Amino acid sequence: MTNKWNYQSPTDEQILKREELSEKFHITPAVCLLMAQRGITTEDELQQFLNPSLINLHDPFLYPDMEKAVDRLNTALGNKEKILIYGDYDVDGTTAVALVYKFLEQNSWKSNLYYYIPDRYDEGYGISDRGIEYAKENEVTLIIALDCGIKAIDKIAYAKSAGIDFIVCDHHMPGEVLPDAVAILDAKRSDSVYPYEHLSGCGVGFKFMQAFAISNGLEFSRLKNLLDFVAVSIASDIVPITGENRVMASYGLRQLNHNPSKGLKGIIDICGLKGKDISISDIVFKIGPRINASGRMMNGKEAVDLLLARDFVSAKEKSENIDQYNDDRRELDKKTTDEANILIEENPSLLNGKIIVVYNSEWHKGVIGIVASRLTEKYYKPAIVLTESNGFISGSARSITGFDIYKAIEACKDVLVNFGGHTFAAGVTLVEENLELFKSSLEEYADKYMMEDQMTQTLDIDVALKFSEINIALLNDIKKLSPFGPDNSKPIFCSFDVRDSGTSKLVGKELEHIKLELIDDSSETVIPAIAFGKHQYNDYIKSGKPFDICYTVEENSYNNTPSVQLMIKDIRIKESMEEN
């Protein structure tokens, strides 16, 4: 696939700000330019960004209904009512349940607390009839719903008729009508004045517990120790790492690296991260998938059981089970992705259309979201993968930059039983007879609202560097911008007219990668780099002709000696780079 490079030369104002920040704070000019581009231009903004502090967390009582939620919880605890902590089966939901349960357990009567994760296959997403029946059987009178519930109007009404109150803690888009709950904590409500609307579901649960702690004069340190759960949810749910999320992710990563919960320590050990500096990327690719595997392959309750493990022996045992689920998930994921690719490549309308919708009643519901992500990545189009579930067709959608898949699905709501999600990820449920109508409606929407150039992947390049600027000081300053994620992505750099120093070579089992040693005209320094899967450029590179590269700057710790290495994202052998 040909990538489009989007590089804008810095403005005069950004150049001035670069020099000002660099001189005042002794930070490399390239990183100062990055901060200026990301809107960090004052001393206060720079200090807050480089030194995230829990002092900067917002007042939780700014949430709509927070006082109602805390009052109802205090009443329930005071009356020794039975309380059910209910959450979705993914990483965000299970970490949220673990956090709220663990905090309340420390500060109430454990015998009155229960937790519940719906079965992905028998119950589906969100509040279920079975979950409410479980609450009734156990004489529960208050359910705290985490990472779900904002659209569960009928289910919450039924629970209320049975004498069960709901507190909803969600971060998904509300519908036109809100459920009849005692309190609804969702910063995306139209009447919300809360300053930050991008918290994860676990993050909303954290704010609820923060307000509860304030109300009861509890030390914040008790809650702060649970921020490792929030960091895992932030990374796994792919919410912006800005504002409060940046603060909580930063502290949560510290907790994860120095004193994680026993359950998370079990996962860290089993997935090869023991003794390493764990990053957001490690959560996304190693920790998160293992927690998710429980809900995908068996039941998400096992993930909560692990996260709440009280000793390292049980944490190790439960981690080994979840690691096996993850291995099983990988096999199923590959098989399903291969089958979906065959469907697409044998169907010209799918291959040439603007949106991909594939259906197979035999596909495992637990991996269709992953498969949708892989299809979106491969074809760079929005993808919806559907399967049969409990008599309905159920599916997961993923999207590309610039196309709101939630709005696209919402436009088809008349043919759907249920839907929900975000700009880039959503879920749908429909009856089989509406499948073709759903497909055609989506295609019409995509034809109307998706431009052709949106289907070409764009590499947004932050800063152009000369090799004389690339050194350990630059690498260390880049690290100060972490944690990286949505809206604070790892910076991508470019360099023009670089050349092979004469020692670059193909590497890998099938010689599919290039290990590069590069030079440019700015210095005599040879910069090492690796270009995965770009063997097709080798002959041109070995010719000695100049070419352009875009890359991230990484640390290579070979022999425990830190050095700089470039991770090549793209190679361009044209004379110039397109600018937008």
| CB neighbours of residue 23 within 10 Å | 11
Q: Bridge-partner residues for 388, per DSSP?
A: 393
Angle, CA 325 vertex, CA 324 and CA 330 arms, to 5°:
100
Residue finishing a domain among 409, 425, 455: 455
**How far apart are the C-alpha atoms of 364 and 387, rounded to whole Å?**
7
Same domain, 194 and 310: yes
Same domain, 422 and 476: no
Residue finishing a domain among 432, 455, 478: 455
- What CATH number has the domain bearing residue 451? 3.10.310.30
Closest CA to 174 of 188, 162, 185, 153: 188
List, in sequence order, the alpha helices (H) in 237-366: 243-258, 262-270, 280-282, 288-297, 301-307, 312-345, 348-352
Decide: helix, strand or coil at residue 496. strand
Length of the chain: 580
**How far apart are the C-alpha atoms of 529 and 527, rounded to whole Å?**
7
Same domain, 256 and 403: no
Same domain, 127 and 223: yes
Same domain, 316 and 359: no
Same domain, 315 and 388: no
List, in sequence order, the alpha helices (H) in 143-242: 153-161, 201-215, 220-224, 227-236
Q: Cα(first)–Cα(last) distance of the chain, in Å? A: 19
- pTM exceeds cut of 0.75: yes
Token pair in block for residue 243: 């504002």
Q: What 8-state DSSP symbol labels residue 470? A: -
Token pair in block for residue 296: 């995908």
Q: Is residue 520 part of a domain?
A: yes
Q: Is residue 370 part of a domain?
A: yes
- Contact partners, residue 445, CB within 8 Å, separation at least 6: 408, 411, 412
Question: What is the per-residue pLDDT for 580?
Answer: 39
Host H or E run for residue 25: helix 12-25
Q: What 8-state DSSP symbol labels residue 488? A: B
Q: Is residue 337 part of a domain?
A: no
Q: What 8-state DSSP symbol labels residue 112? A: G
- Contact partners, residue 449, CB within 8 Å, separation at least 6: 403, 408
Same domain, 443 and 469: no
Closest CA to 370 of 411, 408, 331: 331
Contact 166, 185 (CB under 8 A): no
Residue 498: phi, psi to the nearest 5?
Answer: -95, 165
The residue written with tokens 């026993």 in the block is 262
Q: Is residue 340 part of a domain?
A: no
Q: Is residue 42 part of a domain?
A: no
- What CATH number has the domain bearing residue 195? 3.90.1640.30
Amino acid (one-letter) located at 228: D
Token pair in block for residue 236: 């796994």
Q: Is residue 336 part of a domain?
A: no
Question: What is the per-residue pLDDT for 387?
Answer: 96
Question: What is the per-residue pLDDT for 297?
Answer: 82
Same domain, 186 and 213: yes
Q: Which domain holds residue 511?
A: 4-36+459-572
Torsion sign across C-alpha atoms 206, 210, 215, 221 = positive
Question: What is the per-residue pLDDT for 76?
Answer: 96
Q: Is residue 286 part of a domain?
A: yes
Contact 241, 280 (CB under 8 A): yes
Q: What would the DSSP string read from start to end of 411-460?
A: TTGGG-SEEEE-SSEEEEEE-GGGHHHHHHHHHHHHHHH--GGGGS-EEE
Question: What is the per-residue pLDDT for 574?
Answer: 60
| CB neighbours of residue 496 within 10 Å | 17
Same domain, 288 and 242: yes
- What CATH number has the domain bearing residue 511? 2.40.50.460
Torsion sign across C-alpha atoms 485, 486, 489, 492 = positive
Same domain, 464 and 443: no
The residue written with tokens 């992500």 in the block is 373
The bridge status of strand 527-531 relative to strand 563-572 is parallel
Q: Is residue 49 part of a domain?
A: no
- Contact partners, residue 355, CB within 8 Å, separation at least 6: 381, 382, 383, 384, 408, 442, 443, 446, 450
Domain count, the chain: 3
Same domain, 29 and 13: yes
Same domain, 447 and 478: no
Q: What 8-state DSSP symbol labels residue 138? A: T
Residue finishing a domain among 422, 455, 488: 455
Closest CA to 529 of 497, 492, 569: 569
Closest CA to 95 of 332, 288, 311: 288
- Contact partners, residue 529, CB within 8 Å, separation at least 6: 515, 516, 517, 518, 549, 551, 565, 566, 567, 568
The per-residue pLDDT string of the chain (580 residues; one tens digit each, 9 = 90 and over) reads: 568 899 999 999 999 999 999 999 999 999 999 999 998 988 889 999 999 999 999 999 999 999 999 999 999 999 999 999 999 999 999 999 999 999 999 887 677 999 999 988 788 888 999 999 999 999 999 999 999 999 999 999 999 999 999 999 999 989 899 999 999 999 999 999 999 999 999 999 999 999 999 999 999 988 999 999 999 999 998 899 999 999 999 999 999 999 999 999 999 999 999 989 999 999 999 999 999 988 888 788 999 999 999 999 999 999 999 999 999 999 999 999 999 999 999 999 888 899 999 999 999 988 999 999 999 999 999 999 999 988 899 999 999 988 999 999 999 999 999 898 878 889 999 999 999 999 999 999 999 999 887 888 889 999 999 999 999 999 999 999 999 988 899 999 999 999 999 999 999 999 999 999 999 998 888 999 999 999 999 999 999 999 999 999 999 877 777 889 999 999 999 644 444 3
